[in-house]
């Protein structure tokens, strides 16, 4: 279920009920109260007054929840949205159970649900960690690293990434790092961005012939290169599927007690 759609519907419903009360129901309650008071010489007792002026329960709930839901919708749609990392495809940069924050205005402001950009800010840059709607199932969010920009030629062969015919520089940092004894920890540089990736020398991994990234699309890859369901398998991410740029980890939770010791900036 699309949480953005549910949130928009909740805001719309509570807003309509609240507006209906302000324009129609509340004046009617006051009119009934004024009529009853005018027909009673000794005045209305407090219990009767309260009963005549009391808001129906749907109005009471709408008045209470509408401003809260509206603020949540605005912040989540245009400022920051939290996500939880469900898989290891971005290791070692992001671990399963990391809770991340996504900048929703870095790539322009977008309407909730339809995700149409109505204010342009910046475009994704090579090396950004980006959240996007999976092209095959728009209700599912993916997180990967931007590798290919529009017009780039991308090839992946023998665990080596090539962009426009040039091998992307990478340097071995450690063999069998703690927690991942089967992996090689390498530092990779994409443009001005340097980050760590995993390669498993015992796993042949995917091979991909050279492809050209279409205009308005991006080529995405996970940092866990041999264990990532990314553009090497299903193709390009269109601009309209972009959600935002991931910029920080604020909590880690793997089923036990939440941990805040891994708070960090995402590189």
| Average pLDDT estimate for 57-67 | 95
Computed over every residue of the chain, the mean pLDDT equals 93
pLDDT of 95 strictly over 70? yes
Annotated active-site residue in 14, 77, 89, 228: 89
Contact yes or no for 50/69 (Cβ under 8 A): no
Can you give the C-alpha Rg of the chain in angstroms? Answer: 26
pLDDT at 192: 79
pLDDT band at 1 (very low <50, low <70, confident <90, very high): low
| Average pLDDT estimate for 230-249 | 97
Q: How far is CA 5 from CA 12, 14, 246, in A?
A: 10, 14, 22
Which tokens in the block code for residue 161?
């990434």
pLDDT at 227: 94
Residue 89: active-site member: yes
Q: What is the pLDDT of residues 114-162, one digit of tens each?
A: 889 999 999 999 999 999 999 988 889 999 999 999 999 999 999 999 9
Which residue, 77, 72, 69, is CA-closest to 10? 69
3-state SS assignment for residue 200: coil
**Which residue reads 């740029």 in tokens?**
245
Specify the pTM: 0.88
pLDDT at 208: 95
Residue 231: active-site member: no
pLDDT of 193 strictly over 90? no
Report DSSP state, residue 66.
H
| Average pLDDT estimate for 93-115 | 94
Which tokens in the block code for residue 219?
């080529």
Annotated active-site residue in 104, 144, 159, 170: 144
The residue among 48 and 177 whose pLDDT is bigger is: 177
The residue among 255 and 59 whose pLDDT is bigger is: 59
């Amino acid at each position: 279920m699309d949480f953005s759609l549910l949130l928009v519907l909740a805001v719309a419903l509570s807003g309509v009920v609240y507006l209906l009360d302000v324009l129609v129901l509340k004046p009617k309650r006051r009119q009934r109260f004024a009529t009853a008071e005018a027909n009673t010489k000794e005045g209305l007792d407090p219990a009767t007054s309260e009963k005549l002026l009391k808001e129906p329960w749907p109005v009471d709930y709408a008045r209470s929840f509408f401003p809260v839901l509206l603020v949540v919708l605005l912040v989540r749609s245009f400022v920051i949205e939290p996500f939880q990392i469900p898989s290891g495809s971005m290791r070692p940069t992001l671990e399963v159970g990391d809770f991340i924050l996504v900048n929703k205005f870095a790539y322009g402001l977008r309407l909730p649900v339809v995700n149409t950009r109505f204010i342009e800010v910046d475009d994704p840059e090579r090396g950004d960690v980006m959240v996007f709607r999976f092209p095959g199932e728009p209700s599912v969010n993916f997180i990967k690293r931007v590798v290919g920009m529009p017009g780039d030629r991308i090839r992946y062969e023998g665990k080596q990434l090539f962009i426009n015919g040039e091998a992307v520089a990478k340097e071995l940092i450690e063999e069998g790092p703690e927690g991942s004894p089967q992996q090689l920890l390498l530092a990779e540089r994409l443009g001005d961005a340097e980050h760590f990736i995993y390669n498993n020398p015992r796993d042949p991994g995917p091979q991909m012939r050279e492809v050209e990234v279409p205009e308005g699309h991006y080529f995405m890859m996970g940092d866990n290169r041999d264990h990532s369901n990314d553009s090497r398998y299903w193709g390009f991410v269109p601009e309209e599927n972009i959600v935002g740029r991931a910029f920080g980890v604020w909590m880690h939770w793997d089923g036990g007690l939440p941990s805040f010791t891994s708070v960090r900036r995402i590189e």
